[in-house]
Amino acid sequence: MSKVLTCEHLSKTYGKEKTALDNIDLSLDFGRIVGLLGPNGSGKTTLIKLANGLLQPSAGVLKIAGMTPGPETKEIVSYLPDADWLPDWMRVEELVNMFRDFYGTPSEAKAYIGFDAAKANEMLARLNIDPKARLKTLSKGNKEKVQLVLAMSRAAKLYLLDEPIGGVDPAARDYILNTIISNYSKDATVVISTHLIEDIEPVLDEAVFLKDGKIFAHRAVDDIRETEGMSVDAYFREVFKC
């Protein structure tokens, strides 16, 4: 398992007119935090859904740790969609218990599979989320915090986060990025799709830039800063300026 994610000549089309991804090649190592960056319609969400097995390629191949996305890869992939997806009538503590019961507890034999309820409860407390509250009574930002905590409390090899902090207040972002994101296993990889590049840049190791369904660039963050003489956010604005 030398790579956590590989794409070879990967394409995805919707019908005859819409090409979301166009013949992309990509490989990601274990133990990296990767920004998946691009304007609206560039193919970010499509790539994440393909990696999670929610969509099938129109052409080419995508592998997760050498496997085609399916039941086996779902054990090692934790996915956070860019949408409300949890039953909103449930209480926060019930959601934690549901994840624990569904995924089980990580063991020494399979430390990368399972759900750490203690970690989830600790992070929820730090974010001042009432465990007795029903999800539907929470603000949009607090719902997103709950969903992100649940996703990051899974023991996984690959975390796919689609706009994880879009509705979160600025005061909570530092905690989420520095504490939650840094809590993942160091041999796992986190892929973060977001428009809030300036906020996530401090935690990124590398960035994949998508443009019109193609990979415009895949570069280490330090290389961008040293070679271009600018931040990743400034580089993005320069490349994708209107």
Residue ranges and CATH numbers for the domains of the chain are 5-239 (3.40.50.300)
Q: Is the pLDDT of residue 107 over 70?
A: no
11-15, 18-22, 174-178, 234-238 — which is least confidently predicted? 174-178
The helix/strand/coil state of 152 is: helix
**172, two tokens:** 């909570």
Per-residue pLDDT tens digits for 155-211: 899 999 998 877 777 777 877 787 667 666 778 999 999 888 998 898 899 999 999
Return d(Cα 76, Cα 148) in angstroms, integer: 16
- The pLDDT of 75-103, averaged and rounded, is 91
- Residue 139 backbone phi and psi in degrees, to 5: -70, 165
Angle, helices 221-228/232-239, rounded to nearest 10 degrees: 70
What is the model's pLDDT at position 109?
A: 46
- The pLDDT of 99-107, averaged and rounded, is 84
21-35, 92-106, 112-126, 175-189 — which is least confidently predicted? 175-189
Return d(Cα 156, Cα 154) in angstroms, integer: 6
Alpha helices by DSSP H, 104-241 = 117-126, 140-152, 170-175, 197-200, 221-228, 232-239
Per-residue pLDDT tens digits for 24-53: 999 999 999 999 999 988 999 999 999 999
What is the model's pLDDT at position 112?
A: 61
219: β partners: 207
- Percent over 70 (pLDDT), the chain: 95
Per-residue pLDDT tens digits for 178-188: 766 766 677 89
Mean pLDDT of the chain: 89
